[in-house]
């Protein structure tokens, strides 16, 4: 997909509606919790560094929340809109999520509907999203449910894995030399070059025979004449 740089159209209708809500007093607000569950790369979320933060971003809006003791991110006073949720962590990478907060209760969705901090029924849905892809291209839906005592919606974060910052030094080992086919070939040819003459010599002339052969050659006549020289 190509993102045009010079040829961009005006804002889409969807984007415009979310971004136009500037006034804070009369727009409905909600609370939102992001929960980091234990997972394979991180069995114990309590091990995450304390400076881990989550951000919700959309045009002219920015929310940020610190990591809590219970491995949650608690967002307050979030207005309706479609947000990009990122979790910024030093040790682990997380999958970006799309979080939609809409006031329309018309679409019957099984996922959630909550009322908090202002008695406005707001619906929160979350999906995986793909960076550099169409915003409408939603991935797998992420569970978002009211499971909190304070009626806040809890979205479960997805971890991509732990971050490895360092390069491995390729250690030197003698065996690795012998894995090289060129070294193997040259070893074989060296073996042939050095070993062959000896092999030929040894197989053709065993010591005894060669002595006799030498004797025969030197004094061959004597032998035939009856053994007296």
Residues that bind another protein (CB under 8 A): 1-12, 14-15, 19, 46, 49-51, 53, 55, 57-60, 62, 64-69, 74, 76-77, 82, 84, 86, 88-91, 93, 96, 130-137, 150, 163-167, 169-170, 172
Cα–Cα distance measured from residue 220 to residue 52, given in angstroms and rounded to the nearest whole number: 100
Nearer to another protein, 90 or 199 (CB): 90
- Measured from the CB atom, the residue of 181 and 226 that comes closer to another protein is 181
CB 92 within 8 A of CB 161: yes
User: Other C-beta atoms within 10 Å of 165: how many?
Assistant: 6
Minimum CB distance to another protein, residue 151 (Å): 13
Residue 47: name the closest of 34, 38, 56 by CA. Answer: 38
Q: Are 82 and 18 in contact (CB under 8 A)?
A: yes
Distance CA 224, CA 204 (A): 25
Q: Cβ 181 to another protein, closest distance in Å? A: 10
Q: Which is nearer to another protein, 10 or 229 (CB)?
A: 10
For another protein, the closer CB: 38 or 105: 38
User: Residue 8 corresponds to which tokens in the numbers above?
Assistant: 């961009």
Task: Decide: 173 and 41 in contact? Cβ < 8 Å.
Answer: no
Least distance from another protein to the Cβ atom of residue 88, Å: 4
Q: How far is the CB of 108 from another protein (least distance, A)?
A: 25
The single-letter DSSP state of residue 46 is: G
CB atoms within 10 A of CB 157: 21
86: which strand partners? 55
Q: Based on CB atoms, which residue is closest to another protein, 74 or 123?
A: 74
Contact predicate 86/65, CB 8 Å = no
Min separation Cβ 193 and another protein, Å: 18
Comparison of 11 and 188: residue with beta carbon closer to another protein: 11
């Amino acid at each position: 997909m190509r993102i045009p740089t010079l040829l961009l159209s005006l804002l889409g209708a969807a984007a415009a509606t979310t971004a136009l809500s500037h006034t804070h007093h009369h727009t409905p607000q909600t609370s939102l919790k992001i929960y980091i569950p234990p997972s394979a790369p991180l069995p114990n979320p309590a091990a995450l560094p304390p400076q881990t933060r989550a951000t919700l971003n959309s045009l002219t809006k920015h929310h940020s929340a610190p990591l809590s003791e219970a491995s949650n991110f608690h967002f307050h006073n979030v207005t309706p809109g479609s947000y990009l949720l990122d979790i910024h962590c030093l040790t682990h990478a997380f999958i970006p999520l799309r979080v939609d907060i809409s006031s329309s209760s018309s679409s019957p969705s099984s996922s959630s509907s909550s009322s908090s901090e202002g008695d406005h029924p707001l619906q929160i849905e979350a999906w995986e999203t793909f960076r550099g892809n169409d915003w409408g291209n939603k991935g797998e839906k992420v569970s978002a449910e009211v499971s909190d005592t304070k009626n806040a919606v809890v979205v479960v974060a997805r971890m991509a894995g732990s971050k490895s910052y360092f390069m491995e030094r390729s250690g030197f080992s003698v065996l690795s030399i012998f894995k090289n086919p060129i070294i193997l070939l040259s070893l074989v040819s060296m073996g042939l070059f050095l070993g062959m003459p000896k092999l030929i010599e040894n197989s053709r002339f065993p010591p005894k025979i060669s002595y006799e052969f030498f004797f025969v050659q030197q004094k061959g006549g004597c032998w035939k004449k009856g053994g007296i020289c």
